[in-house]
Structure 1
């Protein structure tokens, strides 16, 4: 006969199960590497079949969502998620040339970030970023004379803008949008990374958001949105589509001005209340993209963190994050 465990044994088993569940949740949530490889078991969903014939990119023409069947290749509002193989890079290049585009790339290099990252950032951008297109690099720094003189290809220019190191984020971002007003599309990219693969016109659209490499497979309830209802960046239960990385975002100058103004208002409001969102300007950026859906999403290939390890769906990383060294760089 089967004999059930005594009540004390049941309590012990129950406690162990609770601890195991909490341990797994904690490891997953706080990014410890021990369970990172299990994230690939979390489904991303599939692009609705009804949308597939209609899914078009503003540069690459019809897209092929089936080229990456194991990942999500479009959103519920019909925006494409750009993965390797889902677009034709030659068509994207030709379309950009026909439109006679100038693409802006803005980057902040203040404090020790200038010496440590900027030269490699610019050198690798010359190898991989919008190759064959007209590009203006807008470098914002408090020390213009220290900006390295990297050789640039034809039709590519470097503009250095002086900023005060301690100015507020919204002031810097507004200055960035004023300076970049000569470009048709602008991408805003963090300096502490380097290009490692072709980063071309397929990344351009009216508004562009980047799927965060550390969170793109997480269920929505675990995403690190700001949840303090007092904050202007707060998202309530059930709100938020994806978690977007502030290390890469872009769009038209007009769209980026709207994003910048939204984030600036939110930051000012929080500061007046003595608050700061959990992930600072990134939290406000996520609130903006929840309210104003991006026209295009970039897959984690376009801003990958090598610390995560290998993933089958990350076929060709385009931009690689450097390991975090906050203590050294901000001292």
Structure 2
């Protein structure tokens, strides 16, 4: 009887394991009903000692306790900016007193130019750093095709010609080298702080000076609830982007990153060198330049982290903690755009 009971328990145990693996597979594949299960994974809580010390040169005093349902600081004491944790009026005043020029870079290559650029720029005019001096830098192989968009006072558009790479992966990876050169040229001389963004998204809410810092990373909207062991870091030890098990703090999205010119020169140099190292060895990181970006931010912690509200994917669906999305992903049409 004891042997039969043991066998029955083994069957139950393995059925539970298989069920758990099946659910995990569905969850990772992104099926909407299963994606909502991740909201039950706790994000963590800021230590009270850290909360009392959180301040920011661009927002004044922060209010992390205003959002107890989400994580509002990092283990190294940097703020994670959520709606309600800052006063936007104070942020505007702080930035205006510093007399800043803010750069915004975007790559519009191939069919991405016609599909996304006009809406990106038009919505940026409505929501990006309103009231501040802004220089848009558009990198494209077809400067003459850049749409004419009405710009407000103290807002300019510069178009820089780039060579179109053969593969879309190479377009993505080449931008670190291109950005590094631009930051050492006109862009670096014109702007004090710069944001680098993907083109296949549009602004939907105020993206203001509260996002500024010496170095800024963006929590990936598809991964911000996941435990560290599930995050899609590069695991091939041969790659310059590799992180071992136990390394990595959060998974950051390469669709939005920023900081001072000096900090971004360091970031882009690191990523460009890592990409060149991999290419020389016939390697390609799982998520290309994003993998190298995550390696950089593991080694050099960002001074500020933006919550998923600042770059949200509507495909995930509504979330209680996502109060005011600032950027929204456009529908991905890779078959149309990447051939």
Distance 1:322 1:176, change over 3 A: farther
Is 2:146 aligned against 1:140? Answer: no
Partner of residue 71, structure 2:
72
1:189-210, CA deviations, whole angstroms, 9 ceiling, x for partnerless residues?
1110000000000000000000
Partner of residue 271, structure 1:
279
Determine the C-alpha separation between the residues in 1 that align with 2:123 and 2:23: 38
2:307 to 295, 299, 321: 299
1:172 to 172, 178, 193: 178
CA drift at 1:7: 5.5
Q: Which moved more, 1:44-53 or 1:202-211?
A: 44-53
Is 2:295 aligned against 1:287? Answer: yes
2:317 to 296, 302, 309: 309
Determine the C-alpha separation between the residues in 2 that align with 1:328 and 1:231: 30
Distance 1:21 1:94, change over 3 A: same
Determine the C-alpha separation between the residues in 1 that align with 2:182 and 2:23: 42
- Contact 1:205–1:252 (Cα < 8 Å) also in 2: yes
- Contact 1:29–1:222 (Cα < 8 Å) also in 2: no
Give unmatched runs, 5+ long, in structure 1.
Answer: none
CA drift at 1:9: 4.1
**Aligned Cα RMSD in Å?**
1.5
1:189 to 181, 192, 197: 197
Partner of residue 124, structure 1:
123
Distance 1:124 1:186, change over 3 A: same
CA drift at 1:51: 1.3
Q: Which moved more, 1:161-170 or 1:17-26?
A: 161-170
Is 2:205 aligned against 1:201? Answer: no
Partner of residue 219, structure 1:
227
1:250-269 aligned at under 5 Å gives the runs: 250-269=258-277
Q: Which moved more, 1:230-239 or 1:9-18?
A: 9-18
Partner of residue 39, structure 1:
38
1:40-80, CA deviations, whole angstroms, 9 ceiling, x for partnerless residues?
11000111101122100111111111111000000111100
| SS in structure 1 at match of 2:72 | coil
Determine the C-alpha separation between the residues in 2 that align with 1:174 and 1:211: 23
CA drift at 1:323: 1.6
TM-score (norm 1): 0.96
Determine the C-alpha separation between the residues in 1 that align with 2:276 and 2:154: 39
Determine the C-alpha separation between the residues in 1 that align with 2:212 and 2:4: 62
Determine the C-alpha separation between the residues in 1 that align with 2:178 and 2:26: 36
- Contact 1:71–1:313 (Cα < 8 Å) also in 2: yes
- Contact 1:106–1:176 (Cα < 8 Å) also in 2: no
Partner of residue 90, structure 2:
91
2:333 to 316, 325, 330: 325
- Contact 2:177–2:268 (Cα < 8 Å) also in 1: no
Q: Number of aligned residue pairs: give it.
A: 330
TM-score (norm 2): 0.94
1:215-239, CA deviations, whole angstroms, 9 ceiling, x for partnerless residues?
0010001000011111110111111
1:72-117, CA deviations, whole angstroms, 9 ceiling, x for partnerless residues?
0001111000000000100110111111110000000000000000
Determine the C-alpha separation between the residues in 2 that align with 1:231 and 1:179: 32
- Contact 2:60–2:94 (Cα < 8 Å) also in 1: no
Q: Which moved more, 1:48-57 or 1:278-287?
A: 48-57
Partner of residue 53, structure 2:
54
CA drift at 1:258: 0.3
Determine the C-alpha separation between the residues in 2 that align with 1:15 and 1:86: 46
